[in-house]
Each structure stands twice: as C-alpha cells, then as structure tokens.
Structure 1
Amino acid sequence: MAPSNQPFTLCSILEKDKLNGTNYADWIRNLRIVLRAEKKEEILDTPLPQEPTDNAPAVEKNAYKRACDADFEVSCPMLACMEPDLQLQFDNNHAAHNMIVALNDMFQTQARTERFNVSKAFAETKLAEGTAVGPHVIKMIGYTQRLEKLGFLIGPELAIDFILTSLPPSYGNFIANYHMHGAEKGLNELCGFVFTINDGVAKEPRNHQKNKHVLRKFHLIQEFVRRDEIKMCKIHTDLNVVDPLTKALPQPKHEAHMRAMGIRYL
C-alpha cells in the first residue's frame, strides 16, 4: 500500500490561511474536513491512552505506539499551520487532542461572537418581493450549516420554519401547500421546491395581427394579477392539492391530497 501523503495535503490546504488568532472557526473547519477525508478526524476528539508500564503486555504497548504514531501524523502538520506565536504555546504539548482542547478554550469568545453574528443574520434576513428565491434559500441553509460548525445545531424543522418565515407575503400560497404536504421533507427537498417557483407574474398578451380584435376586458386573469388580486406562483407537483381532480395518481399521493382537501371518502 502506498504511504499516505496526508501531512502534505493538510499543510497545502491550511498553510494558505494559517491559524493566527482571528480565523479559528475557519481553520478548525478546514482541518476537520481534511482529517475526515483521511479517516483520522477522531484523533482530534480522542485523548491519547495512558502510556503502558514496562511490564505491560506487548499488545498493549503496540496499541499505544500506533496511537502515538497516528497522533504524530496529525499534530505536527497542525503546528506547521499555525503562526509562530501560537506554535510556541504548544511547544511542550504536541498531542492533537490536547491542542484542540486548549485552542477551544482560547478562542471560545471569538466563536461565541461569530455565532451571535450568524444567528442575527439568519433571523433577520428576509427575501424582498421580486427577488429570486433560490439563492435566498441557499444562503439561509448556509447560515444553519455555519451555526452547526460553531456547535449550535438547528434542527431541520426549525430551520425550515425560519426559511419559510423569511419569505414575503406573495409566497403565502406556497407556504400553505408546503405545510400540507412537506412537513416530513428536509432542507434539500425544500430547496428543490423553491427552485420550481415562478417568481414572475402572468404577462400581458402581445398584440399580434390575428388577435388585435380581442378586447382587454376578456383578459380577466391578467387584469386581476395587475391589481394584485391574484398572485401567480408555480406549485410543485408534490404539493399540488388539486392533482386528483385532473389526473390519475399513485394511491398514497392520491390519498394524501384527498385528506388535504378534507375529503375522507370518494
């Protein structure tokens, strides 16, 4: 088996943005991503076992040596990706887990401040009328992922509630349909649904040679839309309650739509 080039991979990613006291959240996130790819992330969260005594069994000594070797492959590149002032603080404490514990204590205030700022942005971000909804939802999901990295886990149900609340009143119909049929769906499904929404409203028909005689008073839908009496939006097929009235559906979906309409027997 070819030897792992993990230390070089780790340094190449982190040396561009070495830990300097102001970027701990980004640094630790990148560190964990790299170690996860190398299947060594648990080294950060697991302290080294106690060193066996001289008369301990060979199996125990070998296990301890393997743990020290694995820790060495992580702790040395970690030190190399710190600014010199931080390196000196860990000169006599090279165990990866011990360094992470010390760094967490050192930068706890910084992480708390960042968590406050992200939480504030997540709660206050609103979609303006006429703005594309897809990028907005992706941005909101990014806030939840950022908070999770900072140790503040927001469950998918609460995250979806925040995202739906951030939509303007014109999405009321979509939100109502989502509550009827999307309660068990996650953030990825919500993101897929919103990308199907047509942010525009019905457009006025153009005047062609063959329809110049058609009077405006017959274009009732367009007129209602123009007066904001009707809001036009696309409803995802999984959320379209009236589908059973227009086409055949699989039985589970048919029954779900019927219940949503309040029909028990048909």
Structure 2
Amino acid sequence: MFNGTNYTDWLCSLRIFLNYENQGYVMDKPLLQTLPAGSPSDECDTLERWHADHRKVRNIILASMSNGIWKQYDRLDDIASILQSIKKVYGILDWHTRFVATKEFLRIKMTEGSSLQEHGVKMLSLVEKIEDLKAELDNDTNIDVILQLLPPSYDPFIVNINMNGLEKSINELINMLV
C-alpha cells in the first residue's frame, strides 16, 4: 500500500505484481488511442487488449494507494500521467532515503569488542538498501568503507589484505573477517 513514504518499495512491488499478471508492459508505454484506418484485425485485437489491461492496471495502481493519496490521482486516466505526478511529489523522498542510508553506511564504525557478525549483517543490509535506492557504489568502494570502519585491532588483517590483494565480494569479506 502506497502511503507517501514508501515510493520506491511500492513501485517495485507494483511492477512485480503486474509482471506476474503479464500487465507490466502498460506502465512503460504511452496510451495508444487508435490505429490507422485499415489496420489488420490482429492489431485491433491487440489494441483492445492493451486498453483493457490499461484500465485494470490503472485501477490496481489506485487501489494500492491509501485513501488520501488515490483521490489526488483518480481524475487522471493515463497511467503514465499518474506515475509521473506521483514521482514529482514523492520521488524526492527517495533522494532523502538514499542520503540517510549512505550517511549511516559511512558512519557505522564498529566498536572494539563488539560482534563482528552483527556489524557485518548491518553493513550488508545497508549496502543492499543503498543498491536498491540506486546509489551506485561499486564493490571496491563498499569494501574500502567497511574496512575503514573496523576498529584498530583489525589493522593487521587490513594490511594482509592490501599486501595480497582483495578480489572478494562483501559477503566473502565478512566471512573472512569472522
């Protein structure tokens, strides 16, 4: 249910559901009104099916919103218009969410004596969240940040990795650290 604070998650869930129903294509194509005169009957059938799917998807989109929100978009007939309007209003929250997640990722220093497994799980969770929000940090940068946020007792490990080179995933790095 879209409530105004979960734009990215809602859009992702909506696409998953619509793709399962083989109707996700209507979100990515503009609404076609008519075909040229003399178009083959199979193209007319396809257009008819497309319009029927468009009506269904529009209703699914509106039904997946909380009351106060869907009423703002009920007057719009075209799915593209609805999604553009929603993105203008609520898409900015994605930037803020990404900013907060990245800030937390860059500041979550592990304290000496705390559980590396708990810290590793938290780091993996933040990396996945940042990736979901399209923050585009590459694997090497993620590993550099994780290593920089370890306490001094891990310095020998870090030196050893630097000497031998590290071509590992974040999961492999966490396993090596544990």
Is residue 147 of structure 1 aligned with residue 130 of structure 2?
Answer: yes
Shift of 1:80: 0.7
Which of 43, 64, 76 is residue 60 of structure 1 equivalent to?
43
* Aligned counterpart, 1:174: 157
Residue type matched to 2:50 in 1?
A: A
CA 55–42 in structure 1, closer or farther in 2 if over 3 Å, else same: closer
Checking the alignment, whether the CA contact within 8 Å between 2:101 and 2:129 is kept in structure 1 is yes
Q: Gapped runs of 5+ residues in structure 1? A: 1-17, 198-266
Aligned-residue RMSD, C-alpha: 2.7
Residue type matched to 1:108 in 2?
A: G
Is residue 47 of structure 1 aligned with residue 46 of structure 2?
Answer: no
Between the two structures, name the one with larger relative contact order (CA 8 Å, sep ≥ 6): 2
1:181 and 1:43 mapped to 2: Cα distance?
Answer: 51
Q: TM-score, normalised by structure 2?
A: 0.80
Residue type matched to 1:48 in 2?
A: P
Checking the alignment, whether the CA contact within 8 Å between 1:47 and 1:98 is kept in structure 2 is no
Residue type matched to 2:92 in 1?
A: T
Shift of 1:169: 1.2
* Aligned counterpart, 1:114: 97
* Aligned counterpart, 2:85: 102
Which of 152, 159, 167 is residue 184 of structure 1 equivalent to?
167
Q: Percent identity?
A: 29
Runs of 4+ in 1 over 6 A off after TM superposition: none
CA 73–170 in structure 1, closer or farther in 2 if over 3 Å, else same: farther
* Aligned counterpart, 2:14: 31
Is residue 135 of structure 1 aligned with residue 118 of structure 2?
Answer: yes
1:86 and 1:107 mapped to 2: Cα distance?
Answer: 11
Checking the alignment, whether the CA contact within 8 Å between 1:48 and 1:67 is kept in structure 2 is no
Checking the alignment, whether the CA contact within 8 Å between 1:20 and 1:82 is kept in structure 2 is yes
